[in-house]
Amino acid sequence: MNRTSVVNVQTFINEQPFGGFQWLIFFMCFVIVLLDGFDTAAIGFIAPSLLTEWHLSKPDLAPVLSAALFGLACGALGSGPLSDRLGRRSLLLGSVLLFGFACLASAFSSSIGQLTVLRFVTGVGLGAAMPNAVTMMGEFCPDRRRATVINLMFCGFPLGAAFGGFLAAWMIPHFGWRSVLMLGGVTPLLLGVVLLAKMPESVRLMVANRHPVERIRATLARISSAALDAGSFVMTETAPQTGGKGAGVVLSRSYIVGSVMLWVTYFMGLVIFYASINWMPILLKDAGLTPKSATLISALFPLGGVGAVLCGVLMDRFNANRVIAVCYALTAVSVYFIGQAAGNVGALVAIVFIAGVLMNTAQSSMPALAAAFYPTEGRGTGVAWMLGVGRFGGIAGSFLVAELTRRHFTFSGVFATIAVAGLIACVALLIKQMARPHGVDTLPNKVESLGH
- In 3-state terms the chain splits into helix, strand, coil percentages (rounded to 5) of 80, 5, 20
Q: Order of strands, edge to edge, in the sheet holding 230-237?
A: 5-8, 230-237, 446-450
What is 5-450's CATH number?
Answer: 1.20.1250.20
Pairing mode, strands 5-8 and 230-237: parallel
**CA–CA separation, 354 and 281 (whole Å):** 17
- Which phi and psi (to 5°) does residue 374 adopt? -105, 155
**CA–CA separation, 223 and 21 (whole Å):** 6
pLDDT at residue 248, rounded to an integer: 79
pLDDT at residue 446, rounded to an integer: 43
Residue by residue, pLDDT tens for the chain (452 residues) are 445 677 788 888 888 888 889 999 999 999 998 888 887 777 777 877 787 778 777 777 777 877 877 888 888 888 877 777 777 888 889 999 998 999 899 889 888 888 889 989 998 998 888 888 888 888 888 877 887 888 788 778 777 877 777 787 788 888 888 888 898 889 999 999 999 999 988 888 888 778 888 888 888 888 888 878 777 887 766 555 555 666 778 888 878 888 899 999 999 998 988 888 777 777 777 766 767 777 777 767 766 556 667 777 777 777 888 889 999 999 999 888 887 777 777 778 788 888 888 888 888 788 888 888 888 777 778 888 888 888 788 778 878 888 787 787 877 788 888 899 999 999 999 998 887 644 433 333 444 444 33
The DSSP call for residue 248 is: H
